[in-house]
């Protein structure tokens, strides 16, 4: 195997492997160093297997609650969590193999092992040293973490992370989830559908605290109907970890309460994989928050070393990492890619209904004293949503009053993850809401709710 390449990418997740493919497409000899499976967290223990489980959860819920209404009589419904896990593993493994296939197809060399950086654009993997002629791209991502300070160290039995939750044989009878971000809310949906009594504990005042308050409130209402308890504004004071259960002392707005659960799932952020890279040996600087310091072109503080994905800073999202990957590849090929507009990266939480957004929340518009107009459309008024009995949710558009550009868009809907992209394209291209309305939306579709919310922001809504 050659040990000199134009580009060496450290980490084979969605940031790293996409960067490698694009580098190779642009004529650079490229290698990816990966210590585990190709595809990273996203493919193996993140985005992909969790979506498979969410589909199982969705079907379990639909069969039990809506099948009869759709004219389908079902006998006793038996839920088999291990079968759902098996399906999710198959999907995940297939995807990881798919990344391997892509590496071969694009003639990217895969070096298996943990890489440590060395000065002079070198990487050491085991006893071998590899050299990059143009650049090394660091894309080593993040990993799960506990909160040992309050007694919640991940022990993989009673205190678990998403890494273990994705391999359980059965859903626990009771589950406490710490953190109501994307991970917490998605796993709350999954385990609740498979029979766990779920309590979600969130330190900030509401679930999905980064989303628009109306989205948080809408999803909290749906979860309440499903008997998922969300304790918001709640701090875990202490934890007693036993062999078969965990007892949490929680403080909420001055009052104290106890939550006991068979398992606790930690979903309160992730740790950065920077420790084992020998960054000091090369002189690569970190930010105060611990991310690798980069400039707008994702160059680190040392020439010839770039950084992309989760460890380059928030938002920690696979699609953001992939875009950074292609951006760096274009730069290395001597092109001048347009800057990445970080304000235009959509965010999606795939619980049911899904929560998707782009741009500013209404609170952020207020904080910035922007002159804005809100348009809303509830799914109860959308024919397609009524036909599928999925009327929980809405589309909310925040437009600039003077220029009509989209400041923010927020969707809670069964297919919000798909619907948001019309507005992603609109915002990226600085379309006005009038231009979104000019496009005829097919009937009957959930996307009509987007068109109607746009009209509502102009005072011209038709169907409410």
Binding site for ligand NAI (CB under 6 A): 147, 178-184, 186, 201-204, 209, 235-236, 267-270, 316-317, 348-350
Q: Which helix (H) or strand (E) holds 331?
A: helix 318-332
Q: Write down the least CB distance from residue 350 to ligand NAI, Å.
A: 5
Token readout for 49 is: 């297997």
Rounded-to-integer distance, Cα 234 and Cα 222, Å: 20
| C-alpha to C-alpha distance for 309 and 292, rounded to whole angstroms | 10
144 or 374: CB nearest ligand NAI? 144
Per the annotation, the verdict on 443 as an active-site residue is yes
Sequence-ordered list of residues with C-beta below 8 angstroms from that of 148, at least 6 positions apart, any chain: none
Nearer to ligand NAI, 180 or 411 (CB): 180
Residue nearest to ligand NAI (CB): 181
Q: Which is nearer to ligand NAI, 305 or 350 (CB)?
A: 350
d(CA 151, CA 250): 13
Pair 372, 176: CB distance under 8 Å: no
Which residues lie closer than 8 Å to 236 by C-beta, 6 or more apart? 147, 150, 152, 178, 201, 248, 249, 250
Sequence-ordered strand ranges (E) for 63-127: 109-112, 115-118, 122-125
Q: Which is nearer to ligand NAI, 163 or 405 (CB)?
A: 163
Query: What φ, ψ does residue 128 adopt, rounded to 5°?
Result: -105, 150
State the Cα angle at 161 between 231 and 139, rounded to 5°.
115
181 versus 378: smaller Cβ distance to ligand NAI: 181
Q: How far is the CB of 189 from ligand NAI (least distance, A)?
A: 11
Minimum distance from residue 132 beta carbon to ligand NAI (Å): 29
First to last CA, the chain: 66
Cβ-Cβ contacts under 8 Å for 13 (sequence gap 6 or more)? 39, 40, 41, 42, 43, 139, 141, 309, 318, 321
Q: For residue 100, give every residue at least 6 positions away whose Cβ sits within 8 Å of its Cβ, in sequence order, or none.
A: 38, 110
**Nearest distance from C-beta of residue 64 to ligand NAI, angstroms:** 25
- For the bound state, the minimum distance from the C-beta of residue 312 to ligand NAI, rounded and expressed in Å, comes to 13
Tokens of 150: 């309050």
Residue 202 vs 362, nearer CB to ligand NAI? 202
* Nearest C-alpha neighbor of 51 from the set 189, 196, 160: 189
- Catalytic hit among 65, 335, 421, 443: 443
Q: Which residues contact 101 (CB under 8 A, 6 or more apart)?
A: none
Nearer to ligand NAI, 115 or 181 (CB): 181
Write out the catalytic residue numbers. Answer: 443
């Amino acid at each position: 195997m050659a040990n000199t390449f134009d580009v060496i990418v450290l980490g084979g997740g969605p940031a790293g492997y996409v960067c490698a493919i694009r580098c190779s497409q642009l004529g650079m000899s490229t290698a990816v160093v990966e210590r585990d499976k190709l595809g990273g967290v996203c493919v193996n223990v993140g985005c992909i297997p969790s979506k498979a489980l969410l589909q199982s959860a969705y079907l379990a819920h639909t069969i039990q609650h809506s099948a009869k209404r759709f004219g389908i009589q079902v006998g006793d419904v038996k839920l088999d969590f291990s079968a759902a896990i098996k399906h999710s593993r198959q999907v995940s493994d297939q995807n990881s193999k798919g990344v391997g296939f892509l590496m071969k197809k694009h003639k990217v060399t895969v070096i298996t092992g943990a890489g440590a950086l060395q000065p002079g654009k070198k990487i050491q993997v085991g006893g071998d040293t590899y050299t990059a002629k143009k650049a090394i791209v660091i894309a080593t991502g993040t990993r799960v973490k506990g909160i040992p300070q309050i007694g919640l160290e991940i022990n993989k039995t009673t205190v678990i992370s998403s890494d273990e939750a994705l391999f359980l044989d059965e859903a626990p009878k009771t589950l406490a989830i710490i953190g109501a971000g994307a991970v917490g809310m998605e796993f709350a949906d999954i385990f609740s559908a498979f029979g766990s009594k779920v309590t979600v504990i969130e330190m900030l005042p509401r679930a999905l605290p980064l989303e628009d308050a109306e989205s948080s409130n809408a999803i909290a209402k749906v979860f309440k109907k499903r008997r998922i308890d969300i304790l918001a504004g709640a701090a875990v004071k202490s934890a007693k970890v036993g062999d078969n259960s965990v007892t949490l002392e929680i403080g909420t707005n001055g009052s104290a309460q106890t939550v006991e659960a068979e398992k606790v799932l930690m979903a309160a952020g992730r740790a950065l994989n920077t420790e084992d890279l020998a960054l000091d040996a090369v002189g690569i600087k970190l930010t105060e928050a611990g991310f690798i310091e980069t400039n707008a072109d994702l160059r680190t503080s040392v020439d010839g070393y770039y950084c992309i994905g989760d460890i380059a800073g928030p938002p920690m999202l696979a699609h953001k990492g992939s875009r950074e990957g292609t951006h760096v590849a274009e730069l290395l090929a001597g092109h001048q890619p347009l800057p990445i507009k970080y304000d235009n990266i959509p965010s999606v939480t795939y619980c049911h209904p899904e929560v998707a957004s782009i741009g500013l929340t209404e609170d952020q518009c207020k904080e910035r004293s922007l002159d804005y107009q809100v348009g809303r459309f509830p799914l109860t008024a959308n024919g397609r949503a009524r036909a599928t009995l999925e009327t929980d949710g809405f589309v909310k558009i925040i437009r600039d009053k003077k220029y009509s550009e989209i400041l923010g868009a927020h969707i809670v809907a069964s297919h919000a993850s798909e619907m948001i992209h019309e507005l992603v394209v609109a915002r990226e291209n600085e379309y006005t809401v009038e231009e979104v309305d000019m496009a005829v939306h097919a009937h009957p579709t959930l996307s009509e709710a987007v068109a109607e919310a746009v009209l509502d922001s102009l005072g011209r809504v038709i169907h409410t």
